[in-house]
Amino acid sequence: MAPRTRAEALSRERIVEAAVELLDADGERGLTFRTLTERLATGPGAIYWHVPNKGALLDAATASVIAAALTVDAGRSPQDEIRAIGLSLFEAIESHPWLSPQLALQLSRSPRGSVTPRIFEAIGQRVSALGIPENTWFTATSALVHYVFGAAGQNAANSRVLGPGVDRAEFLRAAANAWEDLDPAEFPFLRSIADEVREHDDREQFLTGIELILAGMTGGSRRP
Amino acid sequence: MAPRTRAEALSRERIVEAAVELLDADGERGLTFRTLTERLATGPGAIYWHVPNKGALLDAATASVIAAALTVDAGRSPQDEIRAIGLSLFEAIESHPWLSPQLALQLSRSPRGSVTPRIFEAIGQRVSALGIPENTWFTATSALVHYVFGAAGQNAANSRVLGPGVDRAEFLRAAANAWEDLDPAEFPFLRSIADEVREHDDREQFLTGIELILAGMTGGSRRP
DNA sequence: ACCTGAACACCGTTCAAGT
DNA sequence: ACCTGAACACCGTTCAAGT
């Protein structure tokens, strides 16, 4: 993490880029105005000239990573593209775990922050191509987006715990073992699925969840 | 927010209780060791005697609110109880918006933090009573939990933006109007659902999403 | 217009000292 | 065993001053 000598002039893009690198390297706590100024070989005042505050900087970092994740190849069906977008977001959050709480905050802020609207738009376009009634589009899209965020968030949290040194299979095994040791009276369900936890594949499970929602949307019964 | 004279001795419970009150009143930034010591009429050292650090305090506050939300009356079917638990969590997060990012963090931490396992257990018990194949329980439960968290998180964010003074209908109207003004080429979907956004009911939409997943689980086709 | 860097207010946490 | 409160290291942000 050697401080870089200032070749080019400072710019909003260079600041955001450096912020993403710091976040990727050390998580939320890796990004402070001290680490940032050191990395960019400048002072805090210079950064405040380009960015109004730290929140805006986090927003910009989030937007730049998500925008890249939302561009996926054309698929052979809307369903395929929904799977592709979901998986792309899933992987983006997996490799940038700091995105998860950030997205949770972004989710609101009305339609101001451009991130959530873009995700809604990307998935909604495919939902509207599924051939389901127009008055179900909004709800169906919301369900998909919420599921993706929830699932990806959990996964991000896992990969955060894992860290660089920890083996994934090892981690799952330990978690499953811990669940098996829980009080049978209080946690019968967790004990019953411990075996499955040990062997499951995150990505596959994520996609199966999308499948559940797609099945409910296109084939399932509607609520009375 | 008058500082309370110290009647009873300090205890972990009294500290957690005060923390929840401060969080409810002013969100995450409302809880600092200064506001907490002022409220409890004591010094920081006294709090550190009962609680190891701020993270643990937030965990305890989360656990206390979630535990209350997870106790629901017996329903007439597993589906009914799943709806009841989902709605109860939804409402808990709605009235304690600080729960949302906190849950996102809690989600991982292996099975250590007791919160996520309890939610999994509560929903999983009902899923296992649905009569679907045992090897689908884990994935189905995960999908439900992730959906609940994602949806509730969005709603929490909304209610955070709303604040005490802002009208809900007003807020939705403004959001819908903003979406209608977006570039038609870039955001055709958001424009098309603006009307629906204006009139939708959060709680109903949330439950319909649960219905989608339930339908996918019990009736829908499975992925080839 | 863009950058410098000292200074400010505030935060979580520690710890020697009291009872 | 439980509490006090001054002190420490660190944080985001400001702003007068430079170029």
- Decide if B117 touches A, using CB distance below 8 A: yes
Is residue B28 a part of any domain in this protein? Answer: no
| Domain span including residue B176 | 75-218
Is residue B223 a part of any domain in this protein? Answer: no
Does the beta-carbon distance from B141 to A193 stay under 8 Å? yes
CATH number for the domain harbouring residue B145: 1.10.357.10
Mean of the per-residue pLDDT values for chain B? 87
Q: How large is the angle between the packed helices A188-199 and B137-162, nearest 10 degrees?
A: 100
- List Cα–Cα distances, A53 to A22, A29, A47, A56, A215, in angstroms: 17, 16, 9, 6, 44
Does the beta-carbon distance from A147 to B146 stay under 8 Å? yes
- At residue B30, the 3 state secondary structure works out as helix
Q: How confident is the model at residue B106 (pLDDT cuts 50, 70, 90)?
A: confident
Q: How confident is the model at residue A105 (pLDDT cuts 50, 70, 90)?
A: confident
Is residue B4 a part of any domain in this protein? Answer: no
Which residues on chain A are in Cβ contact (under 8 Å) with B221? 215, 219
Tell me what percent of the residues of chain A surpass a pLDDT of 90: 62
Q: How many structural domains comprise chain A? A: 1
Q: What is the pLDDT of residue B107?
A: 65
- Decide if B160 touches A, using CB distance below 8 A: yes
pLDDT digits over B7-39, tens only? 568 999 999 999 999 999 998 899 999 999 999
Is residue A146 a part of any domain in this protein? Answer: yes
Residue A113: pLDDT over 80: no
Q: Extract the tokens encoding A213.
A: 């929602």
Nearest CA in chain B to A211: B223
Nucleotide whose C1' lies closest to the alpha carbon of residue B46: D3
Which residues on chain A are in Cβ contact (under 8 Å) with B220? 212, 215-216, 219-220
Is residue B107 a part of any domain in this protein? Answer: yes
Is residue B29 a part of any domain in this protein? Answer: no
Does the beta-carbon distance from A193 to B138 stay under 8 Å? yes
Is residue B133 a part of any domain in this protein? Answer: yes
Higher-pLDDT residue of B54, A154: B54
Is residue A105 a part of any domain in this protein? Answer: yes
Does the beta-carbon distance from B146 to A142 stay under 8 Å? no
Which residues on chain B are in Cβ contact (under 8 Å) with A104? 100-101, 104, 153, 157
